[in-house]
């Protein structure tokens, strides 16, 4: 997909958000890193997915992580596992288990 001007600030916002998840103290450095990549890669004929990948990879490298969402995912999975027995009970006890599950 072709990149648009709106992608530039959006990628900066996402980079800052991800930085704040991992190490807020690196905010300035992460913004400089993301901006440097954007200044090199951003153009009318750029592919948005390719640019986004390069921006995120550079910021993740700075942060020392492959996944800034890892802790959030773990918390969500832990909550889902706690709720699973009750959800299964509701689905199995329903007149229409498929409808209840959906």
Query: Predicted confidence band at 77 (pLDDT cuts at 50, 70, 90)?
Result: very high
Give pLDDT, residue 18. 98
CA 45 vs CA 33, 48, 76: distances in Å: 22, 9, 38
Give 102's Cβ-side CA count (13 Å radius).
3
pLDDT at res. 86: 97
Q: What is the pTM of this model?
A: 0.81
> Hey, how many other C-beta atoms are within 10 angstroms of the C-beta on 66?
9
pLDDT of residue 97: 92
Q: Read off the pLDDT band of 83 (50, 70, 90).
A: very high
Looking at residue 37, what is its pLDDT? 98
Report which of 1, 7, 6, 3 is spatially closest to residue 43, judged by C-alpha positions: 3
**pLDDT score for 70:** 96
Where does the pLDDT of residue 68 fall: very low under 50, low under 70, confident under 90, or very high at 90 and above? very high
Q: Where are the domains of the chain?
A: 7-67, 71-101
Distance (Å, rounded) from C-alpha 99 to C-alpha 85?
18
């Amino acid at each position: 997909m072709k990149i648009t001007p709106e992608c530039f600030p959006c990628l900066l916002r996402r980079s800052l958000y991800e930085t704040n998840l991992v190490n807020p103290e690196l905010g300035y450095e992460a913004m400089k890193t993301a901006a440097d990549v954007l200044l090199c890669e951003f153009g009318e004929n750029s592919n948005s997915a390719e640019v986004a990948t390069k921006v995120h990879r550079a910021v993740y490298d700075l942060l020392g992580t492959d996944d800034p969402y890892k802790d959030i995912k773990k918390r969500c999975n832990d909550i889902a596992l706690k709720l699973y027995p009750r959800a299964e009970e509701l689905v199995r006890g329903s007149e229409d288990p498929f409808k209840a599950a959906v």
